[in-house]
C-alpha cells in the first residue's frame, strides 16, 4: 500500500486558475435560444405555478445564482396530474406510429438545439463540454429508439387448448407517467422515460431536480413546440419544479400508475412504499457502488483508460461511476503507479474549456462528503495514493477537486456506502472467486466490469455465479451505457429498467384476450359444467 496516510482534501494546491466562463450570461443566451424567457424562466403555460415561492439556481462553476425559477406547490402538481390525465384520454387513441412522429420531431429539435442545451447542462451541473453534448446526444438516441418502437409495440398470439379459439396478449397505454429526475443527468433521464411513454400512448408529469431546472424548462419548451408544429395536443408533458413536499401528489396520486424516480437510496425508501400502497408501479434508479476487477491477464493500457473515465468522468457524480477497484496483487503496484501518473495530470477546471477533463463538484455538501469519506477510509487503515486536494479555480465558493485514489486494506463500511464524489477505493485480491465476492458484497447492484484476456474469467463474471449487478461489462468501464440495452440495477439500486430492450413494457398494461369463434363453449382444463341451459 502507499505510504501516504494523511487525507489531503482539506488543502488547496497551485495558483488560482481563472474562470473565463460567465455562467449567468451563458444560461440566459441558451434559454433564449430554446424559446424560454431568460428574465422569467418558467415551465410552459400548460404547467402554471401559483404558489409565489421560487428556487434559486446556483451554478457549480462559481457558486453564484444564475436564475430564479417559480416553485410549484402541491396544488400545482395535483392540477398538473389531473390535466395530464385528461390529455391522456385523447392521446391514448392516437395510433402509435403517429405518436412516433412527435418523438421524431422532438429528436430533430434536440439535435438543432444541442449547443444551447449542452450550455445549460454545463452551467447547471458543471459537466465538461463533451459530456454535456453527450447527454444531449443520449436524448436524441432514445428518441430514435422510441420512433422505431412506435411500429413494434408487439403483442402475442398463443395456441389455445380449445378448438376454434384465439388466445392473444395485447399492450395498451397505462396513463400518466411521473418522472422524478436527479441533478447529475438533468435532461437525459427524462428523455429515457418520456420518449418511450409518449410512443406508448402515455402522458408525462416531470419533476426535475429543483437545483437544475433550466435545461428541463428548455427541453419542455422544445417538446411543446414539436407538438404545436404537428397539430398534436398541448400538455403531453407537464413540468413542475417542486421540492419533495410540493411533489407529493406525483408520488401519491392514483392518477399516476407509473412513477420513475432517479436519486438516492433514501429517496427510493421514501417513495416506494407510498407507490406500492396505492398499487402503482415504481421504476427506481437509485444508488450505485460500482466495481471493476483487474485480473493478471488484463491489458493494463486499456484498463487504465477505462478506469480513469469511469472513476473521474463527470467528477465522479454518475450513478455508474467506478467507486471500487479490485486488483490482482500481481499487477496492483504497476496499475497504481500508472493511475497516479494519469490522475496527477488530469486537467481540473472550467468545464467550458476544451482542455478540461474534470469540472467542479456540484455543491459544498458534495465536497464535504468527499472529505469525510477519505478521512474515514484513512482512519480505517487506508492510504491516499493520489488526489483529493482542492484545486483553485475562480471564486472559492466553487468546489474544484482532484479525483482521489485511496487504497484500503479491506472492504470497510465507508467503501460499502456510495459516496457521490470522485473517490476510487482500491482493494487487492489473490483468487478470482475472492474478487467476485468483493464485487457483490455491497448493498447496491447497478454496474460492474472486469478487465481480463482470460475467457473463463470473462464468462464466469457474466454468468449466474458472477456479478450480481444489472450491468456486467467486460474490458470496458462501468459507465457510459448505450441506449439499446435496458438500464438499471438490482438490490438497493431499485430493480427498475429504462431505455432499451423491452423496457417499454413498463409504460403499458397487458391484456389477455380469448376469442371464441366456434359454435360451442368448451371450458379450459376440461371442466364439464353441463350445457348451462336453464
Cα–Cα distance for residue pair 101/463, rounded to 1 Å: 40
Helix (H, G, I), strand (E, B) or coil at 518: coil
Residues, the chain, total? 534
Q: By CB neighbour count within 10 A (0-12 exposed, 13-18 middle, 19+ buried), where does 167 fall? A: middle
Please tell me what DSSP assigns to residue 45: T
Facing residues of 498 across strands?
487
Q: Judge whether 152 and 171 are in contact, CB under 8 Å.
A: no
Please answer whether residues 146 and 100 qualify as being in contact, where contact means their C-beta atoms are separated by less than 8 angstroms. yes
Decide if 285 is catalytic.
yes
- Alpha-carbon span 174 to 370, nearest angstrom: 42
Cβ count within 10 A of residue 121: 29
- 512 CB burial (10 A radius; 0-12, 13-18, 19+): exposed
DSSP H or E run through 249: helix 248-252
Asked whether the beta carbons of 247 and 77 are under 8 A apart, the reply is yes
> Rounded to whole angstroms, what are the CA distances from 503 to 96, 268, 306, 445?
16, 19, 27, 18
- What CA–CA distances, in Å, run from 327 to 114, 122, 321, 430, 470? 39, 34, 17, 9, 22
- Between helix 114-125 and helix 214-229 the angle, nearest 10°, is 160
Q: Which helix (H) or strand (E) holds 462?
A: none
Cα gap 54→36, rounded to integer Å = 17
Q: How many CA atoms lie within 13 A of 194 on its CB side?
A: 31
Q: Which helix (H) or strand (E) holds 378?
A: helix 364-379
* Other Cβ atoms within 10 Å of 333 Cβ, number: 13
Return contacts of 480-486, CB within 8 angstroms, 24+ apart: 480/309, 480/310, 480/313, 480/320, 481/320, 481/447, 482/141, 483/138, 483/141, 483/142, 483/144, 483/145, 483/192, 484/145
Q: What is the 8-class DSSP label of residue 476?
A: S
In sequence order, what E strands does 35-164 have?
54-58, 65-70, 156-158
Cα 44 from Cα 518, distance rounded (Å): 54
Say if CB 466 and CB 111 are below 8 A apart: no
SS3 of 403-418: CEEEECCCCCHHHHCC
Candidates 285, 407, 418, 498; catalytic one? 285
Active site residues: 285
Amino acid at each position: 500500500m502507499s505510504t501516504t496516510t494523511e487525507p489531503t482534501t482539506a488543502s488547496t494546491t497551485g495558483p488560482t486558475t481563472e474562470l473565463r466562463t460567465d455562467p449567468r450570461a451563458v444560461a440566459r443566451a441558451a434559454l433564449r435560444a430554446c424559446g424560454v424567457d431568460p428574465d422569467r424562466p418558467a415551465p410552459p403555460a400548460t404547467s402554471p405555478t401559483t404558489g409565489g415561492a421560487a428556487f434559486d439556481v446556483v451554478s457549480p462553476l462559481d457558486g453564484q445564482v444564475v436564475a430564479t425559477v417559480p416553485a410549484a406547490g402541491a396544488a400545482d402538481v395535483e392540477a398538473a396530474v389531473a390535466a395530464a390525465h385528461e390529455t391522456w384520454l385523447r392521446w391514448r387513441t392516437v395510433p402509435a406510429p403517429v405518436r412516433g412522429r412527435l418523438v421524431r420531431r422532438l429528436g430533430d429539435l434536440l439535435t438543432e438545439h444541442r449547443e444551447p442545451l449542452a450550455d445549460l447542462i454545463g452551467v447547471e451541473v458543471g459537466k465538461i463540454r463533451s459530456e454535456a453534448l453527450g447527454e444531449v446526444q443520449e436524448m436524441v438516441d432514445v428518441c430514435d429508439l422510441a420512433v422505431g418502437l412506435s411500429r413494434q409495440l408487439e403483442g402475442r398470439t398463443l395456441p389455445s387448448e380449445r378448438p376454434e379459439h384465439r388466445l392473444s396478449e395485447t399492450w395498451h397505454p397505462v396513463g400518466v407517467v411521473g418522472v422524478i429526475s436527479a441533478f447529475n443527468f438533468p435532461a437525459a433521464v427524462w428523455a429515457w422515460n418520456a420518449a418511450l411513454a409518449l410512443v406508448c400512448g402515455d402522458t408525462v408529469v416531470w419533476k426535475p431536480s429543483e437545483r437544475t431546472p433550466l435545461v428541463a424548462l428548455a427541453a419542455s419548451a422544445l417538446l411543446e413546440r414539436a407538438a404545436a408544429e404537428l397539430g398534436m395536443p398541448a400538455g403531453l408533458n407537464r413540468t413542475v419544479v417542486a421540492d419533495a413536499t410540493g411533489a407529493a401528489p406525483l408520488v401519491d396520486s392514483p392518477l399516476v400508475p407509473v412513477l420513475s424516480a432517479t436519486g438516492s437510496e433514501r429517496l427510493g425508501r421514501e417513495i416506494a412504499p407510498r407507490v406500492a400502497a396505492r398499487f402503482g408501479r415504481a421504476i427506481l434508479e437509485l444508488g450505485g457502488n460500482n466495481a471493476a476487477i483487474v485480473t493478471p491477464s488484463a491489458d493494463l493500457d486499456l484498463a487504465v483508460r477505462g478506469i480513469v473515465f469511469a472513476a473521474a468522468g463527470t467528477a465522479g457524480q454518475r450513478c455508474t461511476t467506478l467507486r471500487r477497484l479490485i486488483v490482482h496483487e500481481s499487477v496492483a503496484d504497476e496499475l497504481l503507479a500508472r493511475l497516479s501518473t494519469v490522475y496527477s495530470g488530469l486537467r481540473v477546471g472550467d468545464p467550458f474549456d476544451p482542455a478540461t477533463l474534470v469540472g467542479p463538484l456540484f455543491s459544498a455538501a458534495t465536497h464535504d462528503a468527499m472529505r469525510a469519506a477519505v478521512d474515514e477510509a484513512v482512519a480505517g487503515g487506508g492510504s491516499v495514493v493520489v488526489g483529493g486536494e482542492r484545486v483553485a479555480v475562480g471564486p472559492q465558493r466553487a468546489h474544484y477537486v482532484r479525483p482521489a485514489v485511496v487504497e484500503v486494506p479491506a472492504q470497510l463500511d465507508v467503501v460499502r456506502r456510495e459516496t457521490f464524489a470522485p473517490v476510487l477505493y482500491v482493494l487487492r485480491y489473490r483468487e478470482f472467486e475472492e474478487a467476485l465476492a468483493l464485487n457483490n458484497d455491497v448493498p447496491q447492484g447497478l454496474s460492474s466490469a472486469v478487465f481480463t484476456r482470460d475467457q473463463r474469467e470473462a464468462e464466469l463474471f457474466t454468468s449466474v455465479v458472477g456479478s450480481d449487478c444489472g450491468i456486467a461489462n467486460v474490458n470496458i468501464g462501468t459507465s457510459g451505457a448505450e441506449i439499446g440495452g435496458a438500464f438499471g440495477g438490482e438490490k438497493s439500486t431499485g430493480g427498475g429498467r429504462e431505455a432499451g430492450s423491452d423496457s417499454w413494457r413498463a409504460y403499458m398494461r397487458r391484456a389477455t384476450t380469448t376469442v371464441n369463434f366456434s359454435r360451442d363453449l368448451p371450458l379450459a382444463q376440461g371442466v364439464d359444467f353441463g350445457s348451462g341451459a336453464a
